[in-house]
Amino acid sequence: MNTDQLMSLALEMAGLTEIPGDSAIYHPGQNLHKVMFGIDVKAPEVKMAADLGFDVAMSHHPTGGQARLQFHKVLYRHLDQLTAAGVPLKAVQTIIDDLAEEHRVMASMSNYDHDPSVARLLDMPYMNIHTPLDEIGRRRLQDAADELAPTNTVAELIAHFQSSFGEFRHADTQIELRVGQLDRPIGRVVMSHGAGTNGGYPVAKAYFDHGINTVIYIHCRPADSKKLIADFGDNVNLIVTGHVVSDSIGINPYIDRLRGEGIEVTTLSGIIPA
């Protein structure tokens, strides 16, 4: 395979037709048989990949280049998810506009060429795939949640996730209920993931304000969950599944597909096996 084919395979699996703004090929390569893949693969790991004889270094998270500078564009996927859940566009457009603008400005302040420049100097193929793999994970987790009835409890949903995904059983972190009660029914559930990063307080609030009873994030700042408790008490549920483990749930099917294609894949940097 070459780097274009590695990217195209992820897009195909996620049902996407274009490379999202947070994914990129920083330095292309051909005839790739040995892959180093991690959640965070930056300049030191790129050098390590070159030293160890890998053909390509692959990161899940964006590390620079256009994937950093265009990252803000994928945040608008929140709008698709929100409106699909019945939240009016006019209620959230400004929220996502503000979130995207903050990320755009911060990215423009960063040294966006640091890690890609190391790959070029080493002539080491280097790329990252973020949203496509997160979308795979989002669908897997949403599908699992949808297997339960609205009357099932939060505790039952958490137990269902743990029994359905080996990644949760192997992780050193635990699924946490940040807002709500374990014995409360889950009601309508939305897995908010695959949109760059979580929407924090305002996105969760928009879901809760418009009839969603349980929101699932893969990570959330404590200050955001505290504000949600102040607004809603324990009348809604915010579940946090964990960052690295939830990323792994989207990454592992892709790695399995690569191995099925005869590619040798070595994982590092947080990927938890299923």
pLDDT of residue 192: 98
Contact between 24 and 112 (Cβ < 8 Å): no
**Predicted confidence band of residue 239 (pLDDT cuts 50, 70, 90):** very high
pLDDT of residue 57: 98
What DSSP element (H or E) covers 254? helix 243-260
∠ Cα 254 73 91 (to 5°): 110
Distance, CA of 227 to chain centre: 23
Helix, strand, or coil (residue 175): coil
Per-residue CA distances from 162 to 94, 154, 165 (Å): 36, 12, 6
Please, which residues have CB within 8 angstroms of residue 45's CB and are 6 or more apart in sequence?
36, 38, 57, 59, 268, 269
Please, which residues have CB within 8 angstroms of residue 184's CB and are 6 or more apart in sequence?
153, 154, 234, 237
pLDDT of residue 75: 98
% of the chain exceeding 70 in pLDDT: 100
| Residue range 159-201, pLDDT digits in tens | 999 999 999 999 999 999 999 999 999 999 999 999 999 999 9
| Neighbour order of strands in the sheet with 56-59 | 24-27, 126-128, 56-59, 34-38, 264-268
Residue 265, beta-bridge partner list? 35
Contact between 152 and 109 (Cβ < 8 Å): no
Residue 185, beta-bridge partner list? 153
Averaged over 137-166, what is the pLDDT? 98
pLDDT of residue 31: 97
pLDDT of residue 33: 98
| Residue range 203-234, pLDDT digits in tens | 999 999 999 999 999 999 999 999 999 999 99
pLDDT of residue 128: 98
Residue (of 186, 188, 202) closest to 79 by Cα position: 202
pLDDT of residue 80: 97
pLDDT of residue 73: 98
**Pair of tokens at residue 228:** 């949600």
Q: Which amino acid is at 149?
A: A
**Pair of tokens at residue 128:** 């990252």
| Residue range 67-126, pLDDT digits in tens | 999 999 999 999 999 999 999 999 999 999 999 999 999 999 999 999 999 999 999 999
Averaged over 2-14, what is the pLDDT? 98
Averaged over 8-33, what is the pLDDT? 98
Distance, CA of 178 to chain centre: 19
Averaged over 35-42, what is the pLDDT? 98
pTM to 2 decimal places = 0.96
Residue (of 62, 65, 67, 58) closest to 117 by Cα position: 65
Q: Which domains does the chain have, with CATH numbers?
A: 3-129+247-265 (3.40.1390.30), 135-245 (3.40.1390.30)
Helix, strand, or coil (residue 134): helix
% of the chain exceeding 90 in pLDDT: 100
